[in-house]
Amino acid sequence: MRFCFLPRLTGTFRLRCCCLVTILALITLSYYLIDSLIITHTSNSRCAKCYQPIDVVYTWVNGSDQRFLDQLKLYSLVRDKARYDDKNELKYSLRSLEKFAPWVRKVYIVTNGQIPFWLNLDNPRVQIVQHADIADEDTTLPTFSSATIETFIHKIPGLSENFLYLNDDIFLGAALFPDDLITLSEGVKVFTAWQVPDCASDCPWMFVGDGSCDSHCYVEECQFDGGDCDHPDYQNHMHEMEDYNMSTEEGEDTFIDVPKTFPKNGKKSDNIRDIYEMFKRSNNGSSTKQLVEKFNKEKLKSNKSNSKKNSAQGDPERVVGDARSEERMSNSQDIFAHSLIHTNKIFNQIYGFKNRKVLAHVGFLLNVNIVEAMLVRFRKDFSVTKSHRFRERNDLQYAFTYYHFLMSESRNKSVSEIFDDFDTDGSGTWSDREIRTLLTKIYNLPLDWSAVRYFEEVVTNCSLQQNNFVPLEHQEEQRIVYPTLVYERYEDSTIPTVTKSLVLACHELTDMMKMNFAQTPLYKYHVNQKTGIYSNFKMLTSNITQVVDALDELRKNPKKFNCINDNLSEDNPEENQLISALLEDFYLSLFPVRSQFELENNYRNRFQYYDDYRAWFARKTLFRNGVYAFCLVAFLVCVKMLCFRHKGKFARTLVFLSSRTDYNTI
């Protein structure tokens, strides 16, 4: 379609048309370029571009909102409203994020529909996400449980594959880089703190499933000592203990020795004097065997306790955590501690009994695919968690479950894969030096010559069987000498070439490979042993002096992750108000500059709830698009009319010039 003859128009009109079209094209192009640059904003710090994009996900609620309080009251009258109170932690956490982690791509704030009044919703790097938009169908909404909310945060549309999950009470105090969270060689970093709270009094989890029957652990909460007391002899002792407990309740003065056993390694104590002294003090019907067993068991228990105490030294957060766990367990209402115990019991059933630690108060780098695999693996238990409006004792702890799932999942390597792992030069055969590496990973060092000789005989026998040289009973009589291969064999080597086909056909070798190397972690991870360097944890109480001291400690030594947990009591409103002011002053001392995620000073959002904002934004978008469409149509109509107008003038000019040419010719 011929629009117009712009090249043939007058110079002024042509210039105006070209300028107008150019300006419109530049505006459109600039919009898309700026949008793309903002969303993919990265920093050159420590090669942030070397890693895949990482988004940040916050969970946030404004517990001071009246609509929220009315909803909370509708579903429960006894819940602690103070723990939902908003003290602007999210605003300062975002300031710290902009200052210390500018490489973050985008920030998502998961809420029940509320909007922070200071949030700049026009910033393309921040987005509000409602629970109802991403929650599963079987999730009970509205929910006030963080354990429930965490089960669907990975379903945010457009979320990066690896994302950093932060609570709003965590802020950054030092530069954070992607390789603080994950490295290409070691995988994701795991920050652990303190042991899972004890399942019963005098029964830490390290006693459960250790091969030694512990009477204090023979309760349901401790999974009946992990089967350690299932032996018939122990069962008889347990019945005696039950009879003893019943008799003491009736007032009888009866003594039944507590069932004990020897340590798992079977070594008895050689301290006969101690046993004899204990026998003299306690010779009241108990046999010498029982006394020996009792002495060894008490010694084992003491060794366990000392080991636990020694492992806690040098880790302040661990020491605080152990003390905090004991304090929590003394309170039967502590839901968090009981949910940890519940989660650990499930892991014991699936992956076996093992000492596990609670995660430190840091940001958690999560992978969407691993989260989905975890939810499938624990579908039944997470369904129970998602049915709760409030946190309950039988919730699965999200971060604990994720990281221990990541560390517990494994896969079985094939013998072919194991062969390739040791074939470091990719030649398709094992050289003598590669075989030496293999043997050092199988046998204890220093490597004994008999182990090397045994391996050579196995390889030679399998080679003879594979090639049908001689029967096994005559292999020593007719040993074949193989030539030395360049770069593969030492000068004194006499074993045949070890190929992959030879290894796969040799049952002795395949069994050796499977036993030592078949099971390997499914996911790459690295347990960071220096958690104290990365994280601070402080508890806000209604004691003003303690709060001031805690905030000063954070000022003095801020770390990469700093958590200020709210544990204020509703019984002290005046102290709480002052503490809120002290906390605001503390945040301002560290982060006084407004971030790009905030509105300018003295401005606030006109909408408190995301549904209202979304409805208004839809109307605004519709109106804006209508105006753009009208302007475009009007522009095209004007251009068309101008083209037709100048086309007529151009035609008349041609007729005039033609007549002048004819006249001059005549």
- For residues 382-389, give the mean pLDDT: 96
| 25-29, 87-91, 169-173, 506-510: range with lowest mean pLDDT | 25-29
- For residues 543-559, give the mean pLDDT: 94
- What integer pLDDT is reported at residue 372 of this predicted model? 97
- What integer pLDDT is reported at residue 40 of this predicted model? 41
Residues 51-66 pLDDT 10s = 789 999 999 999 888 8
- What integer pLDDT is reported at residue 36 of this predicted model? 46
Residues 281-290 pLDDT 10s = 544 444 444 5
Residues 446-463 pLDDT 10s = 988 888 889 989 998 888
- For residues 425-430, give the mean pLDDT: 89
The model's confidence at residue 496, banded by pLDDT at 50, 70 and 90, is confident
For residue 109, the SS3 value is: strand
- For residues 19-28, give the mean pLDDT: 66
Between 310 and 95, the higher pLDDT residue: 95
- Bond prior to 446 in cis (omega within 30° of 0): yes
CA separation for the pair 337, 197 (Å, rounded): 6
| 159-163, 217-221, 574-578, 637-641: range with lowest mean pLDDT | 637-641
- What integer pLDDT is reported at residue 241 of this predicted model? 54
- For residues 410-423, give the mean pLDDT: 94
The model's confidence at residue 43, banded by pLDDT at 50, 70 and 90, is very low
CA separation for the pair 416, 166 (Å, rounded): 42
The model's confidence at residue 306, banded by pLDDT at 50, 70 and 90, is low
Residues 173-212 pLDDT 10s = 999 999 999 998 899 999 999 999 999 888 989 889 888 8
Q: CB of 404 within 8 A of CB of 396?
A: no
**What count of other Cβ atoms lies within 10 Å of the Cβ of residue 275?**
18
Query: Which of 214-228, 521-535, 548-562 is modeled with the greatest confidence?
Result: 548-562
Q: CB of 193 within 8 A of CB of 361?
A: yes
Return the bridge partners of 526, or none: 189
The model's confidence at residue 633, banded by pLDDT at 50, 70 and 90, is confident
CA separation for the pair 381, 401 (Å, rounded): 11
Q: Is the pLDDT of residue 640 over 90?
A: no
Between 80 and 340, the higher pLDDT residue: 340
Q: In what order do the strands lie in the sheet with 54-59?
A: 126-130, 107-111, 54-59, 162-167, 364-367
| 256-260, 366-370, 414-418, 635-639: range with lowest mean pLDDT | 256-260
Residue 198 DSSP code: P
For residue 202, the SS3 value is: coil
The model's confidence at residue 242, banded by pLDDT at 50, 70 and 90, is low
The model's confidence at residue 596, banded by pLDDT at 50, 70 and 90, is very high
What is the 3 state secondary structure string of 54-67? Answer: EEEEEECCCCCCHH
- What integer pLDDT is reported at residue 249 of this predicted model? 46
| 260-269, 461-470, 559-568: range with lowest mean pLDDT | 260-269
Q: Quick one: CA dihedral 141, 146, 151, 152, positive or negative?
A: positive
- What integer pLDDT is reported at residue 317 of this predicted model? 43
**Closest by Cα among 517, 477, 475, 513 to 496:** 475
The token duo for 356 is 């596990």
Between 314 and 404, the higher pLDDT residue: 404
- What integer pLDDT is reported at residue 329 of this predicted model? 37
- What integer pLDDT is reported at residue 322 of this predicted model? 41
- What integer pLDDT is reported at residue 6 of this predicted model? 45
| 8-17, 284-293, 516-525: range with lowest mean pLDDT | 284-293
Q: Is the pLDDT of residue 324 over 50?
A: no
Task: Return mean pLDDT, the chain.
Answer: 79
Return the bridge partners of 129, or none: 110
Q: Is the pLDDT of residue 380 over 90?
A: yes
The model's confidence at residue 112, banded by pLDDT at 50, 70 and 90, is very high
Q: Is the pLDDT of residue 361 over 60?
A: yes
- For residues 626-644, give the mean pLDDT: 79
| 315-319, 405-409, 426-430: range with lowest mean pLDDT | 315-319
- For residues 237-262, give the mean pLDDT: 46
Q: CB of 383 within 8 A of CB of 138?
A: yes
> Treating both helix axes as pointing N-terminal to C-terminal, what angle do 415-422 and 507-517 enclose, rounded to 10 degrees?
80
- What integer pLDDT is reported at residue 47 of this predicted model? 52
- What integer pLDDT is reported at residue 352 of this predicted model? 93
- For residues 354-383, give the mean pLDDT: 96
- What integer pLDDT is reported at residue 468 of this predicted model? 58
Q: CB of 551 within 8 A of CB of 582?
A: yes
The model's confidence at residue 572, banded by pLDDT at 50, 70 and 90, is confident
- What integer pLDDT is reported at residue 186 of this predicted model? 92
Q: CB of 84 within 8 A of CB of 68?
A: yes
Q: Is the pLDDT of residue 132 over 90?
A: yes
Q: Is the pLDDT of residue 486 over 50?
A: yes
| 471-475, 567-571, 596-600: range with lowest mean pLDDT | 471-475
